[in-house]
Each structure stands twice: as C-alpha cells, then as structure tokens.
C-alpha cells in the first residue's frame, strides 16, 4: 500500500489527518510509537528479574538482553497504536499520537512494529536462549492480539487479563539469564499483575467519557463509577499482601518488607479515599492521586527488590 493511497479507516466521526505522499514523521514520532514510558517500566522490571538470578552476568549480554526485551515491548506498543489508530483519534488522551495526528502512516507503523518484533525475538534468542525469546514473542502476541485486538474491545476485564502482558518482563529477564523460571519472578509477575487494575481504573475514572466515546468497555463505562471504586479498593487490598510476598516467602529481607508494607498501606488508604469521594473536584483529585502514587508504588517496590538483591553481594565483596 503506498503512502498516497493509504488512509485510516474511520466512521466519519473521527478527525484523522490523511497521510501525504511525503512522510511528515520525525525520528521522535517513531520513538513515540514505542510507548517510551511503558518501555521504561519494562526495562526496569526486566533488570530486577535478571538480578534475582544471582548469577554472574556478562554486562554486554545483560545490556543486549534488556535492549531486546525493551524493543520487543516497544514493538507491541507500536502495533497497538497501529491497530487502535481510529479509536486513539477519538480520545483526547491519545489524539496526538503519531498515527492519528497524521505524522506516521498506519502502514509505516505496521511495518516498523513487525520488523522490531521479529528482530527483538530473534536477537534475544541468539544471544541468550530460545525459552526467553519464545516468552518475549508470546508477550508481544498476548499484548497485540489477545489484549489489543480482542479483550480491549470486548470485556470490562480487559486490563485485568491484559495486564499480564505488562507483568511478564521480570520473568523474561530471569529466563534470559538462567533459561528457566522461578517462584521469585512469579511473585514479581503477580505484583505487577494485581497492581495494573487499580492503576488503570484510577485513570479510567477520570477519562471515562473518552472511553465511552471510543466505545471501549472500560469498567467505569460498563459497570459505573461506584462499582469501579469498589473494585479498585478490593484490588488494592489484595495488592498489599501480594506486594509483601517476596519477603513473606523469604526471598528478600526486612527492608523490603517494611517498604512494601508502608507503601501497600498508602495504596489502600488512597483507594479508600477514592471510594469515599465520589463527586466533583475532590473525586477527580483522588483519582489522579491514586494513579500517580500507584506509579511511585511500583517503582519503589522494584527499587527495594533491586537493592535487596544487590546489597548482600556488595557487602560480601567489601567485608570478606
């Protein structure tokens, strides 16, 4: 399909710029297609997963593995934007993305995403092992096909099940080093998996009109705002012990336990606050507060995990 003949499919209600014969994209537009914020989370959690292997890692192979996992995640973000370009153009939050804004043609994004997906999987397989590469391929498939093409448009549980895709990177990081799986990275998977619903629903509460306009069955649109607040509170209550589980299972020490307990309690308190405040500006602020703190929560927990994994090794090397 040539750029000149290519156009976005739309139902007439969306305003989508039609691509011209000459590409208007800059390098930054292609970078934006990779969802760099999601990539940051993937890089960080995959690194923590690697560290739990407790094995000497060649820094070049470690760096290249993280890069391959990050590019794989970026490719799934790109393919997600390609598939959802029409609904992205209907939502305020996503209307300025490279495809709906007309900077990148859909066909270019599809080719870019597929190339990166195949390259990242093959590269990871060649430099580490094919279990990790296969799991990376499965993660891309899960995010693009199972979540983006199916769950997102079909059920209010879309981000609950689809959240698994964002939770796999620590397991892939561990697999890349060991060629196997362990309970510790499974717990890291569970933390991200249970964290995803309250994180996204807090934002969905504020953006529910956007989602309704785009026809996406997010929980606030389908089940209402009160039910969404109740579900956020339930998931936050489950998240607290799940967040503490690496310590409870004896994988990491008391520092992590203290941090995960305090931050888990903060998440529960903010979820309860959101449950109580149901109207007007206070409700909106409570949603944004929970959304923002949930990002800090995940970051702090994984920093604590990383420190707990690294500190014993540093202490041993210095004092013995």
Partner 1 sequence: MNNESFPKPIKLSPDELARQKSRSRALGLVLGALVVLFFAVTIAKLGGDVFNRPM
Binding site for partner 1 (CB under 8 A): 21-28, 30, 58, 60-61, 64, 67, 127
61 vs 311, beta carbon nearer partner 1: 61
Question: By C-beta, is 57 or 206 nearer to partner 1?
Answer: 57
Give the integer Cα–Cα distance in Å for 268 and 274.
10
Cβ distance to partner 1 smaller for residue 81 or 233: 81
- Residue 124 C-beta: closest distance to partner 1, Å: 11
Is 65 or 89 the residue whose CB approaches partner 1 more closely?
A: 65
- Reduced 3-state DSSP string for the chain: CCCCCCCCCCCCCCCCCCCCCCCCCCHHHHHHHCCHHHHHHHHHHHHHHHHCCCCCCCHHHHHHHHHHHHHHHHHHHHHHHHHCHHHHHHCCCCCCCCCCCCCCCHHHHHHHHHHHHHHHHHHHHHHCCHHHHHHHHHHHHHHHHHHHHHHHHHCCCHHHHHHHHHHCHHHHHHHHHHCCCCHHHHHHHHHHHHHHHHHHHHHHHHCHHHHHHHCCCCHHHHCCHHHHHHHHHHHHHHHHHHHHHHHHCCCCCHHHHHHHHHHHHHHHHHHHHHHHCCCHHHHHHHHHHHHHHHHHHHHHHHHHHHHHHHHHHHHHHHHC
- Nearest distance in Å: CB 37, partner 1: 19
Instruction: Using CB atoms within 10 Å of the CB of residue 1, give its burial: 0 to 12 exposed, 13 to 18 middle, 19+ buried.
Output: exposed
Q: Which is nearer to partner 1, 25 or 239 (CB)?
A: 25
Residue of 11, 198, 204 lying closest to 90 (CA atoms): 11
CB of 35 to partner 1, least distance (A): 17
Smallest distance from the beta carbon of 30 to partner 1, in angstroms? 7
Comparing CB distances to partner 1, the nearer of 124 and 187 is: 124
Q: Cβ closer to partner 1: 1 or 183?
A: 1
Q: How far is the CB of 38 from partner 1 (least distance, A)?
A: 20
Smallest gap, in angstroms, from Cβ of residue 34 to partner 1? 12
Specify the residue, 61 or 111, whose C-beta has the smaller distance to partner 1: 61
Q: How far is the CB of 178 from partner 1 (least distance, A)?
A: 17
């Amino acid at each position: 399909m040539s750029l000149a003949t290519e156009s976005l499919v739309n139902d007439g209600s969306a305003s989508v710029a039609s691509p011209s014969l000459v590409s208007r994209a800059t390098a930054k537009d292609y970078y934006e297609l990779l969802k760099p914020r999601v990539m940051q989370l993937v890089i960080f959690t995959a690194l923590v997963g690697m560290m739990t292997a407790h094995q000497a890692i060649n820094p070049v192979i470690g760096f290249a593995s993280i890069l391959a996992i990050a590019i794989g995640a970026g490719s799934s973000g790109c393919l997600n934007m390609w598939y959802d370009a029409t609904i992205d153009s209907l939502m305020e939050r996503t209307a300025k993305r490279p495809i709906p804004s007309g900077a990148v043609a859909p066909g270019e994004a599809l080719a870019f995403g597929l190339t990166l997906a195949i390259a990242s999987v093959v590269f990871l397989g060649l430099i580490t092992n094919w279990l990790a590469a296969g799991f990376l391929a499965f993660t891309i498939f899960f995010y693009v096909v199972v979540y983006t093409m199916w769950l997102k448009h079909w059920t209010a549980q879309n981000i609950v099940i689809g959240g698994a895709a964002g939770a796999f990177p620590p397991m892939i990081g561990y697999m890349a080093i060991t060629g196997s799986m362990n309970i510790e990275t499974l717990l890291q998977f569970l933390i991200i998996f249970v964290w995803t619903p309250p994180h996204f629903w807090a934002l969905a509460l504020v953006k529910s009109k956007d989602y309704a306009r785009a026809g996406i069955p997010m929980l606030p649109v389908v089940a209402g705002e009160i039910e969404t607040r109740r579900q956020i509170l339930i998931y936050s209550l489950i998240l607290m012990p799940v967040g503490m589980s690496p310590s409870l299972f004896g994988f990491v020490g008391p520092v992590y336990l203290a941090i995960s307990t305090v931050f888990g309690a903060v998440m529960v308190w903010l979820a309860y606050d959101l449950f109580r405040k149901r109207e007007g500006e206070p409700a909106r602020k409570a949603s944004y507060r929970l959304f923002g703190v949930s990002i800090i929560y995940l970051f702090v927990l994984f920093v604590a995990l990383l420190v707990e994994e690294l500190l014993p090794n540093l202490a041993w090397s210095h004092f013995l």
